[in-house]
Structure 1
Amino acid sequence: MAEPMESERSAADGMRAPVRETYGPADLSSVPVFAGGFINFGYWQAIDLTGPLSVADRVRSQQDLYRHVLGSAAPVEGRRMLEVGCGLGVGCALALWEYAPAHLTGMDIHPQQLERARQANAALLEAGPARMRFVRGAAERMPFGDGEFDRVYSVEAAQHFDDLDAFAREAARVLRPGGRVVVASFFTPDDAPGHGARLAELLDSYASGLDIARPFASLTEAFTAAGLTGVRATSIGPGVWQGWDRWLSDQWKPGTWPRNFLAAYRQGILDYYVITATRPRS
């Protein structure tokens, strides 16, 4: 699938229309499938999928995806961290409480999401404003100085980014020498022709342009081109897709488009990856 055209973006806010509308007035975090406000598919590796799933299981799956990402960024204690595409900031709060960074910045392109993040985390912001903040910015144009962060991470947002090359350059720029970037998102497993068209047939999020079909190598290669080293991509699909589909099964019938994420994975046209890279010290 081609990169988004300039005409698809709003001149006023820099967002593509599907992103602006999906995360705008209708709060996606209020939808029952995203219980807890994290807005991710979840990492279900430690959850029993054989019996009924509770809301607590669903919330834990989303928390565990953050824990998996933050574990890949370790050590983070005492570091300055940036989350790209922070949404409601509940992942920022988890990172702050469980991993003790020195400071955490949540960045999102959507002003309504940032307003919700500030409301959801009002107590944390008031109790310790020196430890956390929320800033508006795009993944491709980060409003930060060079070398400002020890860790940059992003959880299930990169499928929306307009330009992975620009994101990689910005991540490398804002990282300090020795710093690490970790991205969790879903990509095609290769660049074979037809993946984008097939995903658009199966999944409304691709048909609408909300999600962009690109191979995971488009990000690993972008990190390498940006000067990052130790670039690694690991599939965690087995821990994501089955649990996500099992959770959806109580609310969506087989054959409805959200259930097709598992079908796309089984057909070998979509998978979920954690991608890591490091800025060299010299």
Structure 2
Amino acid sequence: MPQSPEAAAPYPIPAAVCEAYGPGDLGGTPLFGGGFINFGYWQGIDLDSELTEHDRVNSQQALYRRVLGALVPTETSRALEVGCGLGAGCAVALEEFGFAHVTGMDIHPQQLERARRARSRLLEPGSRQLSLAHGAAENMPFDDGTFDRVYSVEAAQHFRDLDAFARETARVLRPGGHAAVASFFAPGNDPDDARHLAGLLETFATGLDVAHSIQQLTGSLERAGLTEVRADSIGASVWPGWDRWLSGTWKPGTWPRNFLRAYRDGILDYYLVTAHRPMAPGSA
């Protein structure tokens, strides 16, 4: 029997994730804004000028635009966002990219409740184009082939099992569908990278983020049967702007500023990964 989209996520929430997106309310901190929770895509924003809250919100919207534009959306497409947070990215997908329907799924019930409260501010009253579902990236509560597009923005660094995420992505995608994942990963397979990242960045030390390599993600997608798997580094448009925004709050050498250092040291980068579910043999 297929699970209801409102069923409780049959997957444990890591303690650090539970705190950050529950009582910690990461999206309510000044580092983020506009209902988004991502580092931003800063291409075209003047980093030599004094950054404003408007610049910060624009950077976060721009990251969604970069990801959604890679999905080749159509007006009949049904999309799933894995790790939707407060739902602001779902609104961008509907309003700017013309999806017929978007489902936002998140593992944390408190985040989903915040998203439900924000829904009236994000979309026209009475809109039926957005659904919110409680579920885990590694065990999604949907039937096979439910979606034409699956995307995830800055959530995969929290996933504990990339193979399970990739299998579920392939399963809920219809044949011919597309997937896009944007997040930060180690660019190589050096086993020391995890230790180095934990020494530089508190989020890796506490277990909020996991030091997956980009090869782990692309390999998982390929093993799940997805094709045309491609990973593009977009770190040059993420890390300098994120660090510049942080500079108004955090001093050099503090752990949040070390994201840029980790990028320059070659042990962390930001990627946009795309993949395709092939059509079944003999299908039109």
What's the TM-score once normalised by structure 2's chain length?
Answer: 0.93
Report if the CA contact (8 A) 2:39-2:238 is conserved.
Answer: yes
Instruction: Count matched residues.
Output: 271
Partner of 1:165: helix, strand, or coil? helix
Separation (CA, whole Å) in 1 of partners of 2:111 and 2:263: 29
Separation (CA, whole Å) in 2 of partners of 1:219 and 1:126: 38
Residue number in structure 2 paired with 1:127: 126
Residue number in structure 2 paired with 1:100: 98
Residue number in structure 2 paired with 1:216: 214
Deviations 1:31-63 (A, max 9, x none): 111021211000001111111101000000000
Residue number in structure 1 paired with 2:5: none
Residue number in structure 2 paired with 1:88: 86
After the TM superposition, list the runs of 4 or more consecutive aligned residues in structure 1 that deviate by more than 4 angstroms: none
Is the alpha carbon distance of 1:232 and 1:12 closer, same or farther for their aligned partners in structure 2, counting shifts above 3 Å? closer
Report if the CA contact (8 A) 2:11-2:138 is conserved.
Answer: no
Report if the CA contact (8 A) 1:23-1:113 is conserved.
Answer: yes
Separation (CA, whole Å) in 2 of partners of 1:154 and 1:172: 14
My pick for the range that moved more, 62-71 or 32-41, is 32-41
Partner of 1:213: helix, strand, or coil? coil
Separation (CA, whole Å) in 2 of partners of 1:136 and 1:257: 32
Separation (CA, whole Å) in 2 of partners of 1:74 and 1:56: 28
Q: How does 1:139-154 map to 2 (within 5 A)?
A: 139-154=137-152
Residue number in structure 2 paired with 1:6: none
Report if the CA contact (8 A) 2:73-2:98 is conserved.
Answer: no
Is the alpha carbon distance of 1:149 and 1:12 closer, same or farther for their aligned partners in structure 2, counting shifts above 3 Å? closer
Separation (CA, whole Å) in 1 of partners of 2:238 and 2:247: 14
The AA in structure 1 aligned to 2:119 is N
Report if the CA contact (8 A) 1:175-1:279 is conserved.
Answer: yes
Separation (CA, whole Å) in 2 of partners of 1:76 and 1:207: 41
Separation (CA, whole Å) in 1 of partners of 2:97 and 2:86: 18
Supply the RMSD in Å over aligned alpha carbons: 1.3
1:29 positional shift: 1.1
My pick for the range that moved more, 266-275 or 117-126, is 117-126
1:250 positional shift: 0.7
Separation (CA, whole Å) in 2 of partners of 1:191 and 1:76: 37
Report if the CA contact (8 A) 1:182-1:276 is conserved.
Answer: yes
1:125 positional shift: 7.5
What's the TM-score once normalised by structure 1's chain length?
Answer: 0.94
Report if the CA contact (8 A) 2:47-2:244 is conserved.
Answer: yes
Residue number in structure 1 paired with 2:164: 166
Q: Give aligned-pair identity as a percent.
A: 63
1:13 positional shift: 6.4
My pick for the range that moved more, 25-34 or 190-199, is 25-34
Separation (CA, whole Å) in 2 of partners of 1:260 and 1:280: 40
My pick for the range that moved more, 93-102 or 163-172, is 93-102
1:193 positional shift: 2.2
The AA in structure 2 aligned to 1:235 is S
Separation (CA, whole Å) in 2 of partners of 1:125 and 1:52: 33
The AA in structure 2 aligned to 1:145 is D
Deviations 1:109-140 (A, max 9, x none): 000000000100135375112x1110000000
The AA in structure 2 aligned to 1:46 is G
Residue number in structure 2 paired with 1:74: 72
Residue number in structure 1 paired with 2:267: 269
Separation (CA, whole Å) in 1 of partners of 2:179 and 2:99: 15
Match of 2:230 among 207, 211, 232: 232
Report if the CA contact (8 A) 1:76-1:151 is conserved.
Answer: no
Deviations 1:201-257 (A, max 9, x none): 000000000000011010100111000000000000000000000000011000110
Deviations 1:41-100 (A, max 9, x none): 000011111111010000000000000000011134320000000000011011111111
The AA in structure 2 aligned to 1:127 is G
Unaligned runs of 5+ in 1: 1-10
